[in-house]
Amino acid sequence: MTPRKLVARVLLRPGQAARLKSRDPADTLGLDSEDAARVHQAAMIDRLNDLQYRLYAENQRSVLLVLQGMDTSGKDGTIRHVMSGLDPSACQVTSFKAPSAEELDHDFLWRIHKAAPARGQIGVFNRSHYEDVLIARVRKLVPAKVWKSRYAQINAFERLLSDNGTVIVKCVLHISRREQKERLLDRLRDPRKNWKFSPRDVEERKLWPAYMEAYEDALTKCSTAHAPWHIVPADHKWVRNAVVAELLVETLEAMKLKIPRAAFDVRAIRIPD
Amino acid sequence: MTPRKLVARVLLRPGQAARLKSRDPADTLGLDSEDAARVHQAAMIDRLNDLQYRLYAENQRSVLLVLQGMDTSGKDGTIRHVMSGLDPSACQVTSFKAPSAEELDHDFLWRIHKAAPARGQIGVFNRSHYEDVLIARVRKLVPAKVWKSRYAQINAFERLLSDNGTVIVKCVLHISRREQKERLLDRLRDPRKNWKFSPRDVEERKLWPAYMEAYEDALTKCSTAHAPWHIVPADHKWVRNAVVAELLVETLEAMKLKIPRAAFDVRAIRIPD
């Protein structure tokens, strides 16, 4: 299984309809076994380390990984498993929660823009501006006219970032409704996991079909050449981790990052005692 | 070598004078060998992972690690070696550079306060508000009256953070002037390290004695019970890493972090299909 193949299989090509129902959340993408996936992932993470160092040294461009997915789809787990091991000096995670009063007093991209990764950094969004066309739509937090205008605004915003040196990778962690039930039950049964559960999760679950519809629109309308969506089968955590790790490696390798040369004459420097 | 012993040996007790000259930057603190230190450090990092998870789950308190030290003392390397492996969702590094025009239009703690770690987080300051009594003093960026008033302001500010649930650990990475020369030369000789070198580093080096004086004052005046300084011998990277890793573990263990219990009646919850 070559990296290229795995990534290509989860890419939502710009212009293509997302059709989530036609994509199996339990797909293993040809990965033979959990053990093989872990070995693959570990190798990816070693490469990621070297690539991140170059990104940081180059200090010209940045990478933004956007993670979306229903409750329990594994956004936190993906970050923990794939991004632990990176140098935290060059990796910044932003978890977007319900907007504050001050944030609501601005356009929906204001708080997002503030969190955009600096040059040399890998930024990770745990949830993102896509919530503004997901929960905002499903929960009717804004009129339809407002959220409908956001897809084009998002595409323009992502284009701005991309044009200015931020390489954007977007992943939706695609789990089945059935798997979500298992994971919620697990959080209830295991006292060490109770803290992850909120009774609100049950209310959100009841809106599953409306969310799927909102996701399909967001994915279809906002998978662009400069910021493509990837639909990552996430019922198996090891598949999910392997895909995201590989996606990051592929992305960074395509940037052809180089350690910069000295901007001064090295031979002319004397270090005094 | 027990952890307690290692940490105790680098602590600058409140009220004690720093006297950097009496502390050997090449001290191995009784660590037998580089290999032993690495094994020790790896064990620390495993514990750190578990502790960080509890800190995040508890979501009530935070930890702030302040790293100071001369150029090449290993601030970046310490973060990379000790903090890689942590969940980046719960670890935020802020590298303070020369203040921006907007930052200079505020008091010196304004930008620092904004970067304070949120509940559940380990924050790391790569350089910090101490630059405002170090470079600001040595380079005469502000009048003596101004920097002299800052020690008390810093102590009050750190007290505020501490009273509100942030556990503060401060480390100065103590290297010898001779070791700095070696490291600067290494950055010049190795083309892959040129990017880390700035001709400005040479100018800073010339001010070594003035910096040592400024460091002694900052350490002596600002090692408090709520935010103690640790003087970490840093000529050997493996000693430095072992000490900082252990210090974090000790700090988090002393917090007696617990996974919180459910704030709702678990048995009353039904998960719909």
Half-sphere exposure of A212 (CA within 13 A, CB side): 14
What is the spatial distance between Cα B117 and Cα B125, in angstroms, rounded to a whole number?
10
Cα-Cα-Cα-Cα dihedral of A186, A190, A194, A196, to 10°? -50
Given a contact cutoff of 8 angstroms between Cβ atoms, the answer to whether A172 and A232 are in contact is yes
What is the spatial distance between Cα A83 and Cα A65, in angstroms, rounded to a whole number?
11
Q: pLDDT at residue B15 above 60? A: yes
Tell me the pLDDT tens digit for each residue of A133-175: 999 999 999 999 999 999 999 999 999 999 999 999 999 999 9
B264 in contact with chain A, both atoms CB, cutoff 8 A: yes
Mutate which of A49, A54, A89 to disrupt the B interface (most B C-beta within 10 Å)?
A89
Instruction: Give the pairing of strands A11-12 and A229-233.
Output: antiparallel
- Could you give phi then psi for residue A214, rounded to 5 degrees? -65, -40
**Which has more pLDDT, B36 or B124?**
B124
Q: Residue B232, by phi and psi: left (phi above 0), alpha (psi -120 to 50) or beta?
A: beta
Owner of token pair 């679950």? A205
Confidence band of A263 (pLDDT split at 50, 70, 90) = confident
Is the C-alpha dihedral spanning B88, B193, B112, B176 positive or negative? positive
Name the burial class of residue B9, with classes exposed (0-12), middle (13-18) and buried (19+) by CB atoms within 10 angstroms of its CB.
middle
* Cβ–Cβ below 8 Å for B195 and A262: yes
Tell me the pLDDT tens digit for each residue of A214-234: 999 999 999 999 999 999 999
Mean pLDDT of all residues in A109-125 = 98
A127 in contact with chain B, both atoms CB, cutoff 8 A: no
Q: How much helix, strand and coil, in percent to the nearest 5, is found in chain A?
A: 55, 15, 35
Please report, as a single letter, which amino acid is at residue B168. I
Q: Where would I find the H helices in chain A?
A: 3-10, 34-58, 75-78, 101-104, 110-114, 135-138, 144-163, 177-189, 200-205, 208-222, 237-254
Write down the pLDDT at residue B5: 72
Mean pLDDT over each residue of chain B, to the nearest integer: 95
**Token pair for B260:** 């919180």
Given a contact cutoff of 8 angstroms between Cβ atoms, the answer to whether A234 and A73 are in contact is yes
Give the residue among A24, A32, A26, A10 at the shortest CA–CA distance from A40.
Answer: A32
| All structural domains of chain A with their residue ranges | 9-258
Q: pLDDT at residue B163 above 70? A: yes
Pick B84's closest partner by Cβ from A57, A76, A87: A87
At the second CATH level, the architecture of B9-258 is 3-Layer(aba) Sandwich (3.40)
Half-sphere exposure of A213 (CA within 13 A, CB side): 8
**Token pair for A187:** 């959080």
Mean pLDDT of all residues in B32-56 = 90
Tell me the pLDDT tens digit for each residue of B199-213: 999 999 999 999 999
Tell me the pLDDT tens digit for each residue of B97-107: 999 999 999 99
B chain contacts of residue A197, beta-carbon cutoff 8 Å: 262, 269
Could you say which residues from 145 to 174 on chain A have a Cβ atom under 8 Å away from some Cβ of chain B? none
**Min distance A71 CA to chain B CA atoms (Å):** 13
A60 in contact with chain B, both atoms CB, cutoff 8 A: no
Given a contact cutoff of 8 angstroms between Cβ atoms, the answer to whether A70 and A175 are in contact is yes
Given a contact cutoff of 8 angstroms between Cβ atoms, the answer to whether B62 and B119 are in contact is yes
3-state secondary structure of A197: coil
Write down the pLDDT at residue B1: 44
Number of Cβ atoms within 10 Å of the Cβ of A116? 20
Poorest-pLDDT segment among A174-178, A192-196, B167-171: A192-196
Mean pLDDT of all residues in A195-203 = 94
Highest-pLDDT range among A84-88, B6-10, B44-48, B164-168: B164-168
Pick B269's closest partner by Cβ from A76, A80, A188: A188
**Min distance A210 CA to chain B CA atoms (Å):** 15
Confidence band of A2 (pLDDT split at 50, 70, 90) = very low
